[in-house]
Structure formats: C-alpha cells, structure tokens
Amino acid sequence: MLAFVKDAGYRIGEFEFKAGWLTDAEKSTLDVLASHYGDVARTPEKLSDEIDLSHLRADVLRTFPGIASASETIKDLLETRYSALILKRSGLAGLDLDQQRRILFLLCLALGWPTPTDRVNRQIIWDIKKRELPAGQVSTFSENAYEAKLHTDTQYFPNPERYTLLYVVRPADDGGVSLIRDGHHIVDSLKNGSQGDWAFQHLSRTKLPFRIPTSYTKERRQDVAEATFAPIFADKPLIRYRKDTLEAGLKAHPEYDTAENRLALYILENVIGNQEFTTTCRLDADDILLTNNHEGLHGRTEFNDHARHLIRIRISDQRHASQDATLS
Ligand SMILES: [Fe+2]
C-alpha cells in the first residue's frame, strides 16, 4: 500500500500511498462509524474514546483491508527502520473535511488506540490552527503560530503515546516547515563524547519535572503547578523531551534545578540543537507525517499564514493508557 520514495534523513523515510488503499473505505466509512457512535459519526470532530474502541477496531480491520494493510506496513516501518515517515499523497484531498477526519480516525484505530486531546469532551481528532483564545489563556503549539522547537508530544504525561499523526489540510504559504530528528541519533551522538556519555547516563537515571500545561491539569489553575517526574532517556519511551515544559517544571520545583542537572541538559541541548542533523521538510496538502513519538522528535518553524490547517491524532500502543497514571 506504500511505495518507497527516499530516505529523507537519518531513520526518516519518505513513502507515497499507492492508489486503491482507500477504495473500500470511501463508501462505508460513515456507516461503520455510525454503527458504533450513532449520530456523532456525522460530526467526526466529536468522536471520543467513550465507546468500546476494541469492537470498532475489529470492524475496521475486517471491513477495510486497504486501511488494515497500510497500517500494518506503517507500524512495521515505525518499529524497525524509521522513527518518522513522510507519507505523500494520501488521496484524501478530494474528500470533504469530515470524511478526511473519519478516514484518518480509522487509519489511527488500525494503528493502535487513538487518545483524546481534550480532557473534558475527550475529543480525539484535533485541528491544529491558529485560534483566538480568551484573554489571559496561554496557547499551546497547536493553537499558535510560533516556532515549536524539537520535542516529543505529551512528554508531561506518564505514558506518552507511541505514535503521532499529522495530516496537512492546508500548508502555510510561508513558514510552518516541519523539523524532524531521530532519537537514536541523539543517543549515539551523546554517547560518542565523554561528557556526553556522562550526560546520557545522568539523564537516564535522574527523574526531572515536566510541567503539565494548565489545561490538562486536575485543578486547571495556572498558579498550581502540576508536573510529571520522569527521566529524559529510558527504555520506553527512548526519549521524552520538551524544553519549555522542562524549564517550567524546574521553576516550579527548584530543588531539581541543580548544577549537575543543568550541565547535563546543556550538553543535551547542544546535541539536539545541532541543525546539521535536523531534517527539514515542507509538507504539501494531503501529506501525512507519522512519528514514533517514543523514538523521534518533531517541531516546526514559525508561520504567518493563519489559514494553515493540520489535523492531529495521537495513538497509544496500550489500550487503556491512562494519562493520570503515576510513574512507578
Ligand atoms: Fe508536537
């Protein structure tokens, strides 16, 4: 279902969809979703995890062999040779936005267990575009147009999702270029230097505070900082990292703001910031970027075109990955 195009960077593969993977999905997507969600299937941005997704998943794998086959190939590639896949020309561009959302949701369900971004309405399908927010509310990467430095998603939760899917509805005319970096390459680069090796060991055994964005905390109060304490490097995820949530965590928990931790972070930041090893790519409309969020980092440059529109779905490899669970 996917044809190899080229290696776009270290452990970053570019593929394109072969015609036909959607043939069986175009007609009956709405019916299959409606048989599980009822009328909500007509407004797919409201699809949540509040039904038994395992039954729907079984239906999807049985009813849509094109989607099942594409998801098998994607999973295999992201668990072996690549930490990120650029998938060109998905073939969704001619469909209306709701149908695009439905098919992306089904693809993600075939890949694993899509998770809600919004903790109140438990909305799984998330639009990434610049939004006007009420005065005083701090925006996130998915709501603003600023640069997003290389990071892994939901690093502030105990169990970050295994995969992140981004679909380009409309790219920015200017800026909004995707940045991708493989986590294994970061580990290898660190281990190659004596100080880097020390930093890797230190950041593997030391839990650091990642501040949870206010909108995802239990109390939802800007003045009450909640954090997840976890090491940057581990077996799973291989890497969790985002500079600003880490800085906010250190500010809220100054006892972790030690000279040793700062030195290790400084060494790591120099490795991550080395642009020679960052792959940049301008995604076109109808492209998909899929990352193994446990093994690769992604980001984007700033953009000014406020019509830029992406759809994001995160996918866990655990059926009941609780965002509230504590780390052992
Ligand atoms: Fe992200």
Centroid of ligand 1 to alpha carbon of 70 (angstroms): 23
Model confidence at 68: pLDDT above 80: yes
Question: 10-65, pLDDT tens digit by residue?
Answer: 999 999 999 889 887 878 999 999 999 999 999 999 999 989 999 999 999 999 99
Centroid of ligand 1 to alpha carbon of 125 (angstroms): 14
Would the CA dihedral through 218, 219, 221, 224 be positive or negative?
negative
Position 130 scores a pLDDT of 77
In angstroms, how far is the first alpha carbon of the chain from the final one?
A: 40
Other Cβ atoms within 10 Å of 308 Cβ, number: 21
Centroid of ligand 1 to alpha carbon of 213 (angstroms): 13
Centroid of ligand 1 to alpha carbon of 83 (angstroms): 14
Centroid of ligand 1 to alpha carbon of 212 (angstroms): 14
* Least confident stretch, 89-93, 224-228, 280-284: 224-228
Would the CA dihedral through 131, 288, 164, 60 be positive or negative?
positive
Model confidence at 222: pLDDT above 80: no
Secondary structure (3-state) at 328? coil
Centroid of ligand 1 to alpha carbon of 29 (angstroms): 28
Centroid of ligand 1 to alpha carbon of 295 (angstroms): 13
The predicted model gives 60-79 an average pLDDT of 96
Contact by Cβ (8 Å): 84, 289: yes
Cα gap 179→258, rounded to integer Å: 30
List the one residue out of 76, 77, 106, 79 whose CA is nearest residue 90. Answer: 106
Domain ranges of the chain: 2-182+280-316, 184-272
Centroid of ligand 1 to alpha carbon of 6 (angstroms): 24
Centroid of ligand 1 to alpha carbon of 151 (angstroms): 6
Centroid of ligand 1 to alpha carbon of 62 (angstroms): 31
- Bridge partners, 310 (sequence order): 128, 168
Centroid of ligand 1 to alpha carbon of 194 (angstroms): 31
Centroid of ligand 1 to alpha carbon of 122 (angstroms): 18
Question: 121-155, pLDDT tens digit by residue?
Answer: 899 999 988 776 666 666 677 767 788 999 999 99
Centroid of ligand 1 to alpha carbon of 72 (angstroms): 23
Centroid of ligand 1 to alpha carbon of 298 (angstroms): 6
Centroid of ligand 1 to alpha carbon of 155 (angstroms): 10
CA dihedral 113, 138, 247, 292 (to 10 degrees): 20
Centroid of ligand 1 to alpha carbon of 132 (angstroms): 19
The predicted model gives 315-327 an average pLDDT of 68
- Cis before 116? omega within 30: no
Centroid of ligand 1 to alpha carbon of 34 (angstroms): 30
Centroid of ligand 1 to alpha carbon of 61 (angstroms): 28
Cα gap 220→223, rounded to integer Å: 9
Centroid of ligand 1 to alpha carbon of 277 (angstroms): 19
Position 321 scores a pLDDT of 63
List the one residue out of 255, 251, 231 whose CA is nearest residue 241. Answer: 231
* In this structure, CATH architecture of domain 2-182+280-316: 4-Layer Sandwich (3.60)
Fill in the amino acid letter for 5.
V
Question: 163-191, pLDDT tens digit by residue?
Answer: 999 999 999 988 889 999 999 999 999 99
Cα gap 9→285, rounded to integer Å: 21
Centroid of ligand 1 to alpha carbon of 28 (angstroms): 31
Q: Which helix (H) or strand (E) holds 199?
A: helix 194-205
Question: What single DSSP character describes residue 247?
Answer: H
Cα gap 11→287, rounded to integer Å: 18
List the one residue out of 26, 130, 110 whose CA is nearest residue 69. Answer: 110
Centroid of ligand 1 to alpha carbon of 280 (angstroms): 15
